[in-house]
Structure 1
Amino acid sequence: ETFQRSNVPTFKRSNVQTFPLPVLLAGLGLLLTLLFTGCNPLPTLPDRVFIVADGERRALETRAGTVREVLVEAGVTLEGLDRLQPPETAQIQNGMTITVTRVLERLETITETLPFERQVVRDATIPEGETRLLQVGQTGVRERVTRILLEDGVEKERALVQDTITRPPQDEVRLIGTRPQATTASITGTLAYLEHQDAWVMRSSTANHRRLTAFGDLAGRVFKLSPDGARLLFTRVVTEGEHFNALWLVHTTEADAAPVPLELDDVIWAGWSPDGEKIAWTTAEPTERAPGWRGQNDLWVAGLTSRDRLISRREILKPEAGGGYGWWGTRYAWSPTDDALAYATPEEVGVVTLAQRERLPLARFPTYRTYSSWAWSPGLAWSPDGDFIATVLHGPAPGEGEPEESPVFDLWILAATGAYSTEIASEVGMWAAPQFSPDGETLLFGKANVPYQSQFSSYTLCTLDRDGSNRSCFYPAEGETGIEIPLWVWSPDQQALVFIQRDNLQLLRQGEKTAIPITGEGHVTAVDWR
């Protein structure tokens, strides 16, 4: 049958194939089944991996996606510094090997014993030949801490991280006595010495020593025996009030004699007249600045009664500034002729006559620049006849050096009249301290072992004739320790001399090479012998 309409296509029924409804429904169901089946993947096989950990290798069938999941599944736990290869986030691949390296860090402490050392100290306060244990030795302790890195139980790294001495060793200290045993020797005259800041005296024998004072405060600035040795002038330190010292006197021949104050303060030099009936002195003004005084550069003389009282005081020289180094003051030495005193300042040596009461300069020299609160001035020694003065003068600098800094100090003889002067020994050192022998023919002096550093040098004892001939240096022997305190005195009979070495008095007889100790307690700082 044909349908015909205007502008409408026509179809013939014979061109369309028809199916029964049941068949159509069955086909549609089959189609839907095929569609749903294609959306789900087919089941996969598990991956095979290998785990190496804790000393064993094992295989594992797993469907885990990452290394972390595999380790959880296998019950393997990572701790601390453990290393993993490949990393936890890596994807699993069939046949993969997962390696766990166990890393352990530990600290190892090793304790060591440190040995102590032994020291031997020479001590002049202990008698020679004795030893004393001053300090017991103790071992020390040292701790070393080492960091050790282990991989799967095998040491891979070792490093020192701490090295500490927890207890230092304590040295054993043993004292060896060097104080010489005092030797008994016969002596002439009266020998006085200052030991532990008190005055002592010896007569006839060094075994007969007796204490004269018990103050413990003798300054040593003045320590002078009278010409007959019967009385001793000394200064004591004053710690209270406005003065810095005081002048005292004590009799050396009387048992238990009481020291007598002379009512003179701030004395920086004092000495006896040749007849022992008068004393002379010079003073200083106390100041707060070092050295604690300012020299007055004055000179006084007074008589001394049998009751130890000063009478007839006379001012020989009035106070004066005394030049650039006048603050150090003036030192004097009484002439054996009793009519004059030699004087020394840091820049001049001369004579003061008691009659004219004025200074007569004999030698001038550049002051020595000490760069400190002290000044150098020469020592003075009269010849027994009163004609000459032996002294040390500051010499010219070598080359083109500054005069004030010259290290040169020479030994001179000056005529007391000023008629002439002569150098008799060169470069002897600032502390040469010349001393005429009692007969006036020989001059004893010290020679600095390091002349250009004589301020700190030790000294060797030498003698020469007053004309500068027959020079002989005799003590100590070459290579031995020199004398450090520049103080030496002739015996009255000229058969011996005494000096201070290692804080004790040493007696050296004429013609001998070895001195003998005549004190043994140490701390001797001054001596005089009449």
Structure 2
Amino acid sequence: MRLYHLNKILLLASFLVLVGSGCSPVPDSQNQGMIRVEIDVDGTLEVVEVPTGATVGDALEAAGISLEGKDRSEPASGVTIAEEIRVLVFRVEERIETEQQVIPFEVVRQPTENLPYGQEKLLQAGKNGLREIVSVRVIENGEEISISEVSSVDLEEPLNEIILVGMQSSIAPVELPSPLVYLSNGNAWLMEQSTANRSLIVSTGDLDGRIFSLSENGDWLLFTRAEEDEDLINSLWTVNIGSPEDSLIELNTYNIIHYADWVPGIEPRFAFSSVEPRLSAPGWQANNDLELKVFSENGWTSRVNLLQETNYGGVYGWWGTDFQFSPEGDFVAYASPDQVGIIPYEEAEKVPFLEMVPYKTQGDWAWMPGINIGPLGNVIFTVDHSSQEGSPVSEESPVFDLVAIPLTGGGSQTLVEDVGMFAYPLASPVTAKPSGEASYQVAYLQAVFPEQSATSNYRVSVMDRDGSNQRAAFPPPDQPALQPSRRWGAWSPNPNPEKGYYPLAVIYEGNIWILELETGFAWQVTGDGRVQGLDW
């Protein structure tokens, strides 16, 4: 009986245990250490469960989702998941596109005195350029979010349209004893017989004015043109002024800063000194060389002599050396910041005649004395820099004197004291006096403020070859003085047929003036204010 009741009790207890266990709640995934992750990808919503401590990358892998290329997710794939989250997947696409754009040409209106006032003439037709642009477009989930330019190359440069605009004024024409060429707006012009008779001989618009020289017989013009190539400064060219449209010749000579000119008596032969371009100021390193070449009208050039090889050039030699051939071509005068001398054509060795204190400019330029050989070939006119009495630094002395260096013997002779550093003397052609003596004048620039001659304006002055009869000539005292430049003027090689005077052409405020120094008359012959160089 007791056994029966014991069995019933055990049976009831087992039943209650089973019932109790069946009524207990089923644990969820988080309680089991799993986290729910929703993934928004490609327009659908994927759901996965990952264990605690898993990363977003693990969740993506569990869902069979891969990130390729620049695809990304938010949060990033390396972020650890600590609770239920939604992951956004961004499909990223980069598209490289190439397009071509037109570069519109500019219209340049160029004043000229060769047309009546207000009249216009097309000098050069404009042409559009072409630019190729490569861009990257970034697309995320089908939407463009950015575009960036990665490269731009000009396949073809635009060509500016040049329109001449007449500015012919009431300036009276002046008779000319010799052809006069001048540089204006990057173009070369010719005046012949009269200042009213003008013609355009080089219309490229890129003449830089470094070199602008007419040959001895007046047939050829030597000049430099600016170069677009970053590795070049300029190039040397020539043109026959009698037929400029058919004879523009490149001379295969580059980077000319200080000197290039015709060799007297030997045409078509020219001499030049070159530099090497540099990124640092002043933009070059001088070679201080002197080379001679010949050319033919078909563009062929050949070196015939090397008077000076590339060399250090002495103090401030990085700036360069200036040269000038004698009238007979038998020697070359040279000038550097500390020395003036000659180089005999046959020996090709420097013979110094004047040693001077180099001027300390406190800048990225060097001072060089202008040199000019007298028409008889027996004297050099130049500027001497000497120390100032009582000055502790001789290199900074403001004392500059115009001197004559006789090549037949004897030391230099001071002609004009305190003339200023930019005197640039110019000897006239020879005039025969009734006595039979060969005479000539020397024009030069006189500083208004000699003690500040580096920044002073100057006036044209003239004297006899021995320094006598010094007088200011131009401009008048009541007019502003002119800014000095190395090629400030030029004497006509021929005299006025009626008066026998040699006219002097000068550049004043961007215009050409013809001076008759014997009478004091001066005539303005251009009016556009754009002249940069001239030669007879």
TM-score bin, normalised by smaller chain:
0.5 to 0.7
Matched, 1:404 2:407: no
Deviation at residue 365 of structure 1 after TM alignment? 0.9
SS of residue in 1 equivalent to 2:451: helix
| 1:267 pairs with one of 222, 240, 256 | 256
Alpha-carbon distance in 1 for matches of 2:174, 2:341: 39
Contact persistence 1:227–1:276 (CA under 8 A): no
Give the partner amino acid of 1:275: G
Structure 1 residues 126, 404: CA separation in 2 closer, same or farther (over 3 Å shift)?
Answer: same
**1:118 — aligned with what?**
none
Alpha-carbon distance in 2 for matches of 1:513, 1:476: 10
Alpha-carbon distance in 2 for matches of 1:209, 1:179: 12
Alpha-carbon distance in 1 for matches of 2:305, 2:192: 34
Q: State how 1:60-79 maps to structure 2 within 5 Å.
A: none
Alpha-carbon distance in 1 for matches of 2:112, 2:397: 41
Alpha-carbon distance in 1 for matches of 2:386, 2:524: 36
Matched, 1:231 2:231: no
Matched, 1:188 2:177: yes
**1:505 — aligned with what?**
512
- TM-score for both structures, normalised by structure 1: 0.64
- TM-score for both structures, normalised by structure 2: 0.63
Deviation at residue 485 of structure 1 after TM alignment? 3.6
**2:323 — aligned with what?**
332
Give the partner amino acid of 1:270: A
Deviation at residue 383 of structure 1 after TM alignment? 1.0
Alpha-carbon distance in 2 for matches of 1:446, 1:365: 20
**2:271 — aligned with what?**
280
Alpha-carbon distance in 1 for matches of 2:512, 2:527: 8
Matched, 1:295 2:286: yes
Matched, 1:322 2:328: no
Give the partner amino acid of 2:444: F
Alpha-carbon distance in 1 for matches of 2:484, 2:168: 17
Matched, 1:459 2:466: no
Structure 1 residues 324, 355: CA separation in 2 closer, same or farther (over 3 Å shift)?
Answer: same
SS of residue in 1 equivalent to 2:181: strand
Give the partner amino acid of 1:427: D
Alpha-carbon distance in 1 for matches of 2:393, 2:206: 40
SS of residue in 2 equivalent to 1:228: coil
Matched, 1:364 2:355: yes
After superposition, give the CA deviation of every residue in 1:48-104 in whole Å (9 maximum; x if it has no partner): xxxxxxxxxxxxxxxxxxxxxxxxxxxxxxxxxxxxxxxxxxxxxxxxxxxxxxxxx
Structure 1 residues 365, 180: CA separation in 2 closer, same or farther (over 3 Å shift)?
Answer: farther
After superposition, give the CA deviation of every residue in 1:140-165 in whole Å (9 maximum; x if it has no partner): xxxxxxxxxxxxxxxxxxxxxxxxxx
- Equivalent pairs counted in the alignment come to 356
**2:474 — aligned with what?**
475
Give the partner amino acid of 1:274: P
Deviation at residue 335 of structure 1 after TM alignment? 0.6
After superposition, give the CA deviation of every residue in 1:101-138 in whole Å (9 maximum; x if it has no partner): xxxxxxxxxxxxxxxxxxxxxxxx899xx9xxxxxxxx
Structure 1 residues 244, 279: CA separation in 2 closer, same or farther (over 3 Å shift)?
Answer: same
Contact persistence 1:179–1:521 (CA under 8 A): no
SS of residue in 2 equivalent to 1:250: strand
Contact persistence 1:290–1:373 (CA under 8 A): yes
Task: Give structure 1 stretches of 5+ with no counterpart.
Answer: 1-124, 131-177
SS of residue in 2 equivalent to 1:328: coil
After superposition, give the CA deviation of every residue in 1:222-241 in whole Å (9 maximum; x if it has no partner): 11110111111111111214
Contact persistence 2:429–2:502 (CA under 8 A): no
Alpha-carbon distance in 1 for matches of 2:168, 2:409: 47
Deviation at residue 197 of structure 1 after TM alignment? 1.4
**2:449 — aligned with what?**
450
Alpha-carbon distance in 2 for matches of 1:477, 1:192: 25
Higher mean alpha-carbon deviation, 459-468 vs 336-345, is at 459-468
SS of residue in 1 equivalent to 2:179: strand
Give the partner amino acid of 1:266: N
After superposition, give the CA deviation of every residue in 1:285-328 in whole Å (9 maximum; x if it has no partner): 11111111100011101233455533343211111111230101
Contact persistence 2:251–2:295 (CA under 8 A): no
Alpha-carbon distance in 1 for matches of 2:170, 2:320: 40
Contact persistence 2:391–2:397 (CA under 8 A): no
| 1:256 pairs with one of 224, 245, 248 | 245
**Root-mean-square deviation over aligned CA pairs:** 2.2
Deviation at residue 425 of structure 1 after TM alignment? 0.7
Contact persistence 1:186–1:204 (CA under 8 A): yes
Structure 1 residues 342, 126: CA separation in 2 closer, same or farther (over 3 Å shift)?
Answer: closer
Alpha-carbon distance in 1 for matches of 2:520, 2:168: 20
**1:519 — aligned with what?**
526
Deviation at residue 204 of structure 1 after TM alignment? 0.6
Higher mean alpha-carbon deviation, 269-278 vs 252-261, is at 252-261
Contact persistence 2:181–2:214 (CA under 8 A): yes
Q: State how 1:68-107 maps to structure 2 within 5 Å.
A: none
Deviation at residue 276 of structure 1 after TM alignment? 4.4
Alpha-carbon distance in 2 for matches of 1:273, 1:401: 43
Deviation at residue 469 of structure 1 after TM alignment? 1.3
SS of residue in 1 equivalent to 2:366: coil
Q: State how 1:419-458 maps to structure 2 within 5 Å.
A: 419-439=410-430, 441-458=440-457
Alpha-carbon distance in 2 for matches of 1:388, 1:361: 14
Q: Percent identity?
A: 34
**1:57 — aligned with what?**
none
Higher mean alpha-carbon deviation, 398-407 vs 372-381, is at 398-407
Alpha-carbon distance in 2 for matches of 1:183, 1:308: 40
| 2:346 pairs with one of 320, 342, 355 | 355
Give the partner amino acid of 1:271: D
Contact persistence 1:382–1:436 (CA under 8 A): yes
**1:413 — aligned with what?**
404
Structure 1 residues 227, 369: CA separation in 2 closer, same or farther (over 3 Å shift)?
Answer: same
Alpha-carbon distance in 1 for matches of 2:299, 2:218: 15
**2:381 — aligned with what?**
390
Deviation at residue 391 of structure 1 after TM alignment? 0.7
Deviation at residue 281 of structure 1 after TM alignment? 0.7
Structure 1 residues 380, 289: CA separation in 2 closer, same or farther (over 3 Å shift)?
Answer: same
Structure 1 residues 436, 247: CA separation in 2 closer, same or farther (over 3 Å shift)?
Answer: same
Deviation at residue 514 of structure 1 after TM alignment? 4.4
Structure 1 residues 237, 217: CA separation in 2 closer, same or farther (over 3 Å shift)?
Answer: same
Alpha-carbon distance in 1 for matches of 2:521, 2:307: 45
Alpha-carbon distance in 1 for matches of 2:303, 2:409: 30
SS of residue in 2 equivalent to 1:506: strand
Contact persistence 1:226–1:276 (CA under 8 A): no
Deviation at residue 398 of structure 1 after TM alignment? 4.1
Larger Rg: 1
Contact persistence 1:291–1:374 (CA under 8 A): yes
Alpha-carbon distance in 1 for matches of 2:535, 2:453: 24
Give the partner amino acid of 2:202: T
Alpha-carbon distance in 2 for matches of 1:444, 1:428: 12
